[in-house]
Structure 1
Amino acid sequence: MGGLNNETGSTSFLSDKSAKIFVAGHRGLVGSAIVRKLESLGFTNLVLRTHAELDLTRQNDVELFFAAEKPQFVFLSAAKVGGIHANNTYPADFIAVNLQIQTNVIDSSYRHGVRKLLFLGSSCIYPKFAPQPIPEQALLTGPLEPTNEWYAVAKIAGIKMCQAYRIQYNWDAISAMPTNLYGQNDNFHPENSHVLPALMRRFHEAKVRGDKEVVVWGSGSPLREFLHVDDLADACVFLMEEYSGLDHVNVGSGKEVTIKELAELVKEVVGFEGELVWDRSKPDGTPRKLMDSSKLVGLGWTPKISLKEGLVDTYKWYLEYVKQ
């Protein structure tokens, strides 16, 4: 079954390409990237289920799935996600659905002999006024951002559940918290997508219409960090192989860009020739949001995809699959 992983004394993840791996949420931005990564590494036994085939909020269905399939490794990237508007409108869904998914998957994984599980959270788990860059230790040191606290509380519960099962059962469950992600399979919806895909879509549509200008909200001064989802997938595989600690691990690029710099870059990649106009009457949001990913760097992982390169790749995918 391959060599032993020094830190855990367990079998190496990468050594057995026929190991049965369940990727929960394989159609989403993160799950689809993990599937691409595993396939590129030669893994041949991926277990994938659409929501129609397996509703992860239904405890009995999840139980029967694990009893029948008995996967050896689990990447838990399934979640109900959305922007500020969705979080404010459907708080019950965001807390209940996410708690149900992760409780069912984590508990069934443990009870049906999964060797190792990786739970994926989000940078919104941290307090609204966390120190910058945000270290892992900032968790639970202050109040959350009110607009997404329902989602954040569910994700924090997932981290704590992985820790609890490690403490009580000595079971190998780890958690990773990615920064802002982008890439193929992103959500380019006009109303409820995040800043990067929203900008890409608006510049593209303005280019097609021949518009003279695009208006962007705010001053352009806030700093944000972006990580290509293929880099995250690479980090997830790295952690599955190399890390078995109690604490969650931040996954970021370590590079900040102003919204203005981001907009200029997206404009260039899309090839929009008009002007950028900043609507300063609109809110800027948090001035800075950067993750401290020094723990992951210390373990030996660094991102490989530059923002420019990642944007070119994402726009190519957008042109092929999204623009209608």
Structure 2
Amino acid sequence: MSTPLLQVRGLKKHFASGKRGAAPVKAVDDVSFDIEEGQTLGLVGESGCGKSTTGRSVLRLIEPTAGSVHFMGQDITGLSTAKLRGMRRNMQMVFQDPYASLNPRMTIGEVLEEPLIVHQLHDRATRKRKVAEVLDVVGLSPSYAGRHPHEFSGGQRQRVGIARAIITRPKLVVADEAVSALDVSIQAQILNLLKDLQKELGLTYLFVSHDLAVIRHVSDRIGVMYLGRMVEIGSCASVYSAPQHPYTQALLSAIPKEHPDQIRQRIVLQGSIPNPASPPTGCHFHPRCPSCMDICKTEAPLPKHTAADGYVTCHLYR
């Protein structure tokens, strides 16, 4: 069996709360997962669950507090800045806001050429040709290279962001809420573009989104996060057809019905997400869980493997 392109083990990211003596905010708390080359893992959960922090920690855009990230067989958490820079051409990111992530003073051509210059790829003439080629690949005219970001629509700017991510021909792309800032009609175009690029270039995606419909459309496997922890992970088909964790069941019950005659029992969670600086003891989800047992309040559940090559972290499956 081949080694996964990305292996994350025990990843943690804690932030200082800013108050003297206060406990740190555990944004990511012992998260583990694998992504096979050429596949997509979708990370889903409520706002504040730590999914975006997970994606940025994987790329070391923010430094993990603990854990390991093995990429292409190498542990990148211990690499020096110089060695990490050499790896970055193979691991890129598409950001949520397509306007804020582009330098307004640079032309699109300069934005796209910059990664090639940083990684010392090609001569000047070849770089210009690569810029024209990648614009064409993402559905934009090469003549747009001389324009600035403010001259484009949101969907066009996100195409530029995608072009910047793939121009170095990376192995891994982390897409952080890549379509959430776009109109629904434009979202479909961008999602289809990402899937087409994955087939053409052999890309591997870590796709972060709060939108369950989007995650279902793009993912091979799905990881569900709650308050910094991975509560369930499995194939797209298994998670959507037979969710195991009560939180996953509640999330899926909130998806609008495709037809008015369809009947789905809505699971309404009580309360709100606890403060990550002071999470509940035991299972973090127990204050809102309709299936809470006494053990859930005192002991954190361990991952339990499921039949669908995944795992669920819940005392119901001891």
TM-score range normalised by the length of the shorter chain:
0.3 to 0.5
Higher strand share: 2
